[in-house]
Amino acid sequence: MLSRVLPRRTDSLTNLQADEQVVLFPTIGYRSADGRGWHVQVHGDVFSQGPIGLGKRFLLKLLQRLIKAPADAFQSELFRYRVQRFLAKDEAGKQMAVKLGENIYVLPKRSRKNGHFLGTLRLDEQHLLPLVMAASPTQLQLALDVCNAQGDGLGLHGQVHLIEPEGVSVISDIDDTLKHSNVICRRTLLTNTFLKEFEPIVGMAQLFQAWEAQGAAFHYVSSCPWQLYQHLQALFGASGFPGGSFHLRAFRLRDHLLRKLLLMRRSGKAVVIHSLLKLFPKRRFILVGDNVEADPEIYGAAARHFPDQVQQIYIRSLSVPRHDPARYAAAFRGLRPGMVRMFTSASDIAHELPPR
C-alpha cells in the first residue's frame, strides 16, 4: 500500500534519468472496504535505449531465422519499432513518483529487474471526486502522471479506470479474439507481430462499444508480452475499442530463449481473471475469448469457481486441431445451459448485454 503523499518540492524525488523512458499502463481503481475511499493501482515500465549487447544480437538473429522473411523486411521502420522495446535496457532500482492532481506520491518499492514498477494509492472520496473525468457517458477515470526529480510531470496521462462494486465487467482475450494473430502457427504469429500492421477482428470494437454504452467496464487479459502494449494500445485507439485495464505477460529476452515466447501458455491468465473476480464479488462478468489455446478451459474453471459472477462466456471458434465436442464437454462441464456460446463473427453476438 502506498501512503507517502508529498507536497511539491525542489529536491530530488526520484533517480529517474533524462534519457530513460516511462510508460504507464491502464489500471483500475476500486472502492475501499469501508466505502469512504478508493484504492488506485499504479503500474508502469521504465527503460532506456542504448547499444544492443551480444546476447540480444544473438536473439535478434534467432528471431529473424524463425520468421524466415527476406532480409530487407528486418530493415523496415515497422520491424525496428516493434522490436525496439524488446531490445531496450530494463531499468531496475528506479525510485518512482507519480502525480495525481496537485499531490505527488512516491512509490515505496523501486522498479523491478524487468523495469516494471507497481503501487497502490489510497484516496479519500473527497480528494478523488474533483479529479474524476468522464472517459465515456458510463465510465469514469483518473489521469496519472510520472514526475521527474524536481516534481514536474512528464505528461504521460496514465489511465485509471474507476470500477464500482456492482455492475458488468467484460474480460477479453486479445490475440485471435480482438485482433488477427494466428497463434496456432508460430511462424505466422511472429510475422504478424513484428512485420505486419495489426489487424482487428471485424465488428468486435463495435460490439464492445455497444456494451460500454450500457455500462460495461473492460479488462483486456492476454499472454502478449508487455513490450507490445503501446502497439496494442495504438490498434485499440484506431479501431475504437473501449478503454480498459490491461493485464499482459512479463517477458525478458535475457530470461528466456526466444523459443519460449512462442511456447508461452496462458497459465498467468487464470490468476489475473480469478483476482478480478475476487476483487469485485458483486459484479457480473462476461468472458470473451477464442478456442486457439486455453481460453475454454480457463473460462470454464472460472465459471465453476465463481458461478454467481460469471454470467456469460463467448468463445470465437476457429479451425484448430483441438476443435472437438469432447474438449468443450470437459472444459465446460457443470456449467448451466446457455452460459457458453460459440461464435465465428461479432455479428453472432447480441449487442445488448445479457439479462441477469
List the chain residues with pLDDT less than 70: 1-11, 252-267
Q: Nearest Cα to 211, choosing from 175, 159, 172, 168?
A: 168
Taking the CA atoms of residue 126, residue 130, residue 131 and residue 137 in that order, the dihedral angle to the nearest 10 degrees is 110
107's grid cell: 512509490
Dihedral sign, CA of 77, 27, 215, 331?
Answer: positive
Grid cell at residue 223: 499472454
**All three cell numbers of 300:** 470454464
pLDDT (0 to 100) of residue 253: 58
**pLDDT at residue 55, as a whole number:** 76
DSSP 3-state assignment of 155?
A: coil
Q: What is the pLDDT of residue 8?
A: 42
The pLDDT of residue 223: 86
Q: What are the phi and psi torsion angles at 90 (to 5°)?
A: -75, 130
E runs forming strands in 9-63: 20-24, 27-31, 37-48
User: Grid coordinates standing for 54?
Assistant: 551480444
Rg of the Cα atoms in the chain: 21
Distance CA 131, CA 100 (A): 8
Confidence at residue 259, expressed as pLDDT on a 0 to 100 scale: 47
The pLDDT assigned to 252 comes to 62
d(CA 213, CA 209): 6
Residue 221's CB is within 10 A of a number of other CB atoms, namely 28
What is the dihedral sign for C-alpha 141, 178, 303, 268? negative
Grid cell, residue 327, equals: 474438449
